[in-house]
Structure 1
Amino acid sequence: MSEQNIKEKNSALEWIKPILIAIGIVLIIRMFLFEPYLVRGESMNPTLEDGERLFVNKTVKFIGEIEKGDIIIIDGENERYVKRVLGLPGDTLQAKNGILFINKKEVNEPYLKENEKDAAEAGQLLTDDFGPVEVPENEIFVMGDNRTNSLDSRNGLGLINKKRIIGKSEFVFFPFNEVGKTE
């Protein structure tokens, strides 16, 4: 092998190592830390809209706790769902006359104001009556913010086992005019 060929081979190896390391780091980050997610559907409108892209914090599965009000991504049989956590193990949820109660206390949900107005104009309640539903150990109760158009714990998804939680929504990164923390 000539000296020129050896230099070319070493040069190629110098490029391949950092590329492989970078790919490895990206895979580790995506598998264990953060993952992009594309919102599909209208169940979380107006908080999250169809087509928005957000980052999901996957560390919550390992080192964090899910709290009421968190927006999470759930692994379904054929698709993933984005929903808001409303009930934790031991909670009892019920809706009466459009008002959500957790453990017999009325819940203030300021993120629903726009949807409540739209439902009232349509002559309907945003949150139909349900319950009481008691949340067992290792399960959570979720609903979409667009309650009139959401498949959730009330009507099809049922209670969600904590093992099905992929992660917690942290912030929207696209479209750029919507960039910001999800709440």
Structure 2
Amino acid sequence: MSGKNSSKSVFREYFEAIVIAVLLALFIRTFVVQAFKIPSGSMLPTLQIGDHLLVNKFIYGIKVPFSGKMIVPFKKISRGDVVVFRFPKDRSVDYIKRVIGTPGDTVEIKNKQVFVNGEPIDDPHAHISSSAILDKKVSPRDNFGPILVPEDRIFVMGDNRDNSYDSRFWGFVDQKDVLGKAFILYWSWDIKEPLFSFDRFASIRWGRIANLID
């Protein structure tokens, strides 16, 4: 009898440990940190295809899960932050871009140069791959605005300016849809190579692992 009770006790301990571990993992993913993989080149050269990074989900504050409503704010989203957010056109998809304009800012682009509140910004992360200048009537890529960023919204752009689908094309991001700030790379390799292959292993970018995201 005691042996049967002992077996039940051990089973219960394992079950409780698993439940606690799952709840803890869900809590961490919801409120603390979340992993994210870079699937495109819109943030080159800052972030490469195949980079795996961690997103700090509590740096801006504590939100109500699913609704995105801020209940305990910590700090404001700042220009230059690299943020992960729900894509406004399809909120089931997560995007990553750099914040260019915050509420109250006036954003304008003239011949690829970004201006905020009438002043050209220091833009060290911007990568320009094409010398061609597109007219505003053709595309908003190189000439855009001016446009005022509304309250509770942000204007974002990819660092790979000539190859990024961002606020120039689809508008502002609601701050409640911002999941967090990207802060560190924990893994990086070439995802075009077959998984479980020597080429995939050989493509590991050891020098990028543990790099902070600026």
Establish whether TM, by shorter chain, passes 0.5: yes
SS for the counterpart of 2:95 is: strand
- In the TM superposition, structure 1's runs of 4+ consecutive aligned residues that sit over 4 Å from their partners are none
Distance of 2:132 and 2:185 partners within structure 1: 30
Once the two structures are TM-superposed, the CA of residue 96 in structure 1 deviates from its matched residue by 1.4
Query: Per the alignment, in what secondary structure is the counterpart of residue 155 of structure 1?
Result: helix
Q: Which residue of 1 aligns with 2:155?
A: 141
Please, which moves more after superposition, 66-75 or 97-106? Answer: 97-106
- Say whether residues 1:124 and 2:137 are aligned partners: no
Please say which of residues 86-95 and 124-133 is displaced more in the overlay. Answer: 124-133
What is the CA–CA distance in structure 2 between the aligned matches of 1:40 and 1:16, rounded to whole Å? 37
Q: Which runs of 5+ in 1 are unaligned?
A: none
Match of 1:29 in 2: 28
Cα distance in 1 for partners of 2:29, 2:106 equals: 35
Is residue 182 of structure 2 the alignment partner of residue 169 of structure 1?
yes
In structure 2, do the counterparts of structure 1 residues 125 and 108 end up closer, same or farther at CA, with 3 Å as the change threshold? farther
Tell me the secondary structure at the aligned position of residue 74 of structure 1.
strand
More helix by share: 1
1:7 to partner: Cα distance = 1.4
The aligned amino acid for 2:156 is: V
Q: Secondary structure at the match of 2:167?
A: coil
Q: Deviations over 1:131-154 (max 9, x none)?
A: 111111111100000111111111
| Letter of the 1:93 counterpart | V
Partner of 1:49: 48
Gaps of at least 5 residues in structure 2 are 63-73, 135-140, 189-205
Q: How many aligned residue pairs are there?
A: 175
Q: Deviations over 1:6-47 (max 9, x none)?
A: 111112222222222121111100011111111111110111
> CA offsets, 1:75-114, max 9 Å, x none?
02141110000000110011112211111111111112xx
Percent sequence identity over matched residues? 35
Which stretch shows the higher mean deviation, 52-61 or 80-89?
52-61
SS at match of 1:17: helix
| Structure 1: distance between partners of 2:78 and 2:112 | 23
1:182 corresponds to 2:213: yes
C-alpha separation between the residues in 1 aligned to 2:111 and 2:178?
30
Give 1:129 shift.
1.3
RCO comparison, higher one (Cα < 8 Å, 6+):
1
TM-score with structure 1 setting the length: 0.89
